[in-house]
Amino acid sequence: MSTNHTSGAGSAVHAKKAEIFCKDEARVDWHSKALWMLREKRDRAASSIPEWEQLRELGSQLKLHTLTHLDQYLEEFEKNCLANGIQVHWAKDGIEHNQIVHKILADKQVKKLVKSKSMLTEECHLNPYLESHGIEVIDTDLGERIIQLAEQPPSHIVVPAIHMKKEEVGELFHDKLGTKAGAADPLYLTRAARAHLREKFLSADAAMTGVNMAIADKGTVVVCTNEGNADMGANLPKLQLHSMGIDKIVPDLDSAAVILRTLARNATGQPVTTYSSFYRGPQTDGEMHIIIVDNGRTDMLQDKILAESLKCIRCGGCLNTCPVYRRSGGYSYNYTIPGPIGIAVGAQNDDTNSIPWACTLCGSCSYVCPTKVPLDKIIHHHRRLKAKAGKLPYGKRSYMPLVGNFMASETMLNCSMSVARTALRILPGAMLKPFSGAWGKYRELPIAPKSSFETWFNKNRGQ
Amino acid sequence: MKIALFIPCLVNQMMPHVGIATVELLEKLGHQVILPKGQTCCGQPMTNSGCFDEAKKTTLKLLNAFKGVECDAIVCPAASCLVAAKENFHEFDTSPEAQAVIDKLYELTEFLHDVAPIKAFNKPFNHKISLQLSCHGIRMLDLATPSEQMGPRTNKVEAVLKAIPSIEIVYPGRYDECCGFGGTFAVDEGAVSAKMGKDKAQAHAETGAKYAVGFDPSCLLHLDGMMRRQKLPIETLHIAQVINAAL
């Protein structure tokens, strides 16, 4: 997996980027509230199904089962796809994926490709690759189109333009699509985007979508959208392409049904996505291609704890509930996929070695997850892997061994804490603040007691 | 019962009043309380940073303080430290002696709810309190059902406190969202931690409660710093202080 273009050498660590995001507190509040509303909708939708927790358990087990029999199901899937007249391609990484896509498009002299949201093509950096080969790529999901016009990466995996206010979208559309200056009415702007996209759909030579699920025993892919854009794309041009990670495979329709019941509910609180389309073969005289991508996934399967992150169905629920994501924004994570799942699947590619620490280990993500990905445990594990590899963030590298020795010595701990307590008690706060780092910058320092508990106990209970 | 106290470093050094309230309330309930020597830290700051090598010496020092100590239970007034101690003891020592210690570990609320319930409170607590349901206690120790989980709901913290005469229990908005302390997160990710703490402190204050009451001293220390910085008309109290005042 390659890193996202917001990353790279010299990029700031998560805390630094988050601190910049936090400077505009009104925007942080707005961002946090918008995402929390999704969490609340999710809670209402989940509570409307008495068997919700059983569905989560089923989802977890069926994904684990498939992941542990991946070779068998992928082969079955390929066999059934071929029988359905679908052409199947295998890509070991993002580069190979992009080359395969380009070859298919070049063979048909495709000049214009309409694409429906796919985090995998983001992960592979497909758009810039195709554009460099003279192919125009139009993202057709409204949110994706907005950020494409703004030349930004997604900041959320389900609502990619969640960081932009409607006024900002109005300004962007005025610039790029010629809408009225100062217009911020969502209905007006959506209609403008719809007219603009309609023209693109009608003139496209090929369509490409991501894959929510690939059903092994049917040779079918499932694509879920709310805007019908994937269907509009796939049904107009004769050439359709679908990119999927190897982790998207499920055994059969029954297992797909389990995931369909939780996916939209956990993402946006809808009972199901407006369009949940099953593609099982090319149009008459058309071609259908499926590109199956590994891109580091089999490596993750080697580690029992990291492997569980491949159970993820990309609902975005963990982002919406994450108190850190909501207050630091998607771009602070230095990876295409932000939030808890972004840390889980992207930490090994994070050249700042900071994202596993962009988490309080509160565990809300693990409980919200519809397939029970143990996100907090995976994030904790990533920290250990980073430490083992000698890749602790700079600050920790310098102080953690000291803390280890310090805490193991009662004498050192007691003496220095006694000094600290005295200092906190007698020195004016203003003198201490510069020495107390982030704690004193944002909070009042603790009111220090005269002596330790142990001293009290020994004095009053006489041991 | 004979109870050995597990007093985490933060309580010992910075919040002795939590330890004192714990001792007093357990004694009022008729238990004998001892404090095994040699306790410093559970190793959580290190293991949560990924630094398991650095955590080993400290964790084993704490474990050894309890090994062979004659007692019916080991009680700790700090959920996060309790969870970390359990996990770290397992990580570094798989002996039956270590398991014997682990089997006796209880967080204070857990102990008062599951093991030795309080029969009756003697005094009223004439205040409105806003409960701080800290993450590790609810999501790793099952002290209350987290809001993400559907189905039947339990809440041991409320169950223990609601028997106190005159007490009024309320919750802040987004009642079980993390307060942002997160151990070294409070220092490493200062801006986000502070924003989370500010939001949580304000949510507690908006309930109109006199006290924000919780079972995790570290979260309370962080919230206390935020509340005083924001000059909010609310203070923090540990659950042990409330129970002790009502016995």
Whether residues A448 and B14 touch (CB distance < 8 A) is answered with yes
Q: Which of A403, A442, A455 sits opposite B194 (nearest CB)?
A: A442
Calculate the average pLDDT of chain A.
92
Q: Please, which residues 390-419 of chain A have a Cβ atom closer than 8 Å to chain B?
A: 392-393, 395-396, 400-401, 403-405, 407-410, 413, 417
* CB contact A435 to B (< 8 Å): no
Distance CA A95, CA A344 (A): 22
Whether residues A384 and B222 touch (CB distance < 8 A) is answered with no
pLDDT at residue number A5: 38
Phi-psi region of A356 (alpha: psi -120 to 50; beta: other; left: phi over 0): alpha
Q: How many CB atoms lie within 10 A of CB A207?
A: 27
Q: Please, which residues 5-64 of chain A have a Cβ atom closer than 8 Å to chain B?
A: 14-15, 18-19, 22, 25, 28, 32, 36, 43, 46-47, 49, 52-53
pLDDT above 70: residue B81? yes
Distance CA B106, CA A89 (A): 55
Please give the single-letter amino acid code of residue A319. Answer: L
Q: Tell me the mean pLDDT in the region A211-236.
A: 95
How many angstroms separate the CA of residue B41 from the nearest CA in chain A?
Answer: 6
Most confident of A152-161, A395-404, A443-452: A152-161
Which residues make beta-bridge pairs with A87? A289
**A399: closest chain B residue by CA:** B46
A414 phi/psi in degrees, rounded to 5:
-65, -45
Percent helix, percent strand, percent coil in chain A, to nearest 5: 60, 10, 30
Q: Tell me the mean pLDDT in the region A155-163.
A: 95
Q: Provide ipTM, 2 decimals.
A: 0.97
pLDDT above 60: residue A118? yes
- Candidates B189, B198, B238, partner chain A, best to mutate (most A CBs within 10 A): B189
Q: How does residue A11 score in pLDDT terms, banded at 50, 70 and 90?
A: low
Q: What are the Cα distances from residue A226, in Å, to A27, A140, A231, A264, A271?
A: 27, 12, 10, 10, 12
Distance CA B232, CA B224 (A): 10
pLDDT at residue number A429: 63
Which tokens hold the place of A283? 């149009």
Distance CA B175, CA B165 (A): 23
pLDDT at residue number A7: 38
Percent helix, percent strand, percent coil in chain B, to nearest 5: 50, 15, 35
How many angstroms separate the CA of residue B126 from the nearest CA in chain A?
Answer: 25
- pLDDT of A420-449, one tens digit each? 788 777 766 665 565 577 788 899 988 889
**HSE (side-chain half, CA atoms, 13 Å) at A409:** 12
Q: How does residue A463 score in pLDDT terms, banded at 50, 70 and 90?
A: low
Prediction pTM value: 0.95
Residue A377 CB partners (closer than 8 Å, separation 6+): A305, A366
Alpha-carbon torsion angle A91, A97, A100, A104, nearest 10:
130
Which tokens hold the place of A24? 């505009």
Q: Which of A116-120, A430-434, B91-95, B190-194 has the lowest mean pLDDT?
A: A430-434
Residue pair B39/B65 in contact by the 8 Å Cβ criterion: yes
Q: Tell me the mean pLDDT in the region A304-319.
A: 97
Instruction: Look at the block and give the residue holding tokens 């780092």.
Output: A437
Whether residues B151 and A442 touch (CB distance < 8 A) is answered with no
**A48: closest chain B residue by CA:** B150
Contacts of A47 in chain B (CB under 8 A): 150
pLDDT above 80: residue B129? yes
Which residues make beta-bridge pairs with A239? A206, A287
Q: Tell me the mean pLDDT in the region A14-19.
A: 94
